[in-house]
Amino acid sequence: MKLTEIKNLRRKKSPIMYIQEFNGTAVFKLKETVDCRVCFTLEKFPLGDFDIQVSLLDSIDHLPDPLISVLKEHIQSLYEKNQLP
């Protein structure tokens, strides 16, 4: 299992400044290529830490926990490189 990319990544407007909401389409390479719509939030804490919550909006024939774990790692990498919209 591999996460190829998150395409159509968009930031939703949020009334709370320290919470950022995003949605997009994650492309996974399982036995075949699978697209899955995702929604995630990034909550920043005052001391610099942050929390990532991920939801898979489409059902796919795979266990969700490993997919969410891979997504969180990728989202954290995008955040640290300042590549989120």
Say whether pLDDT at 11 is over 90: yes
Q: What's the pLDDT at 1?
A: 84
Buried/exposed 8-32: b ≥16 CB within 10 Å, e otherwise: ebeeeeeeeeeebbbbbebebeeee
Pair type for strands 50-56 and 2-12: unpaired
* Percent of the chain clearing pLDDT 70 (strictly above): 100
End-to-end CA distance of the chain: 26
Q: What is the mean pLDDT of residues 55-71?
A: 93
pTM score over 0.85: yes
Q: What's the pLDDT at 54?
A: 97
Q: What is the mean pLDDT of residues 21-37?
A: 95
Q: What's the pLDDT at 48?
A: 86
Alpha carbon distance 47, 26 (integer Å) = 30
Alpha carbon distance 23, 58 (integer Å) = 12
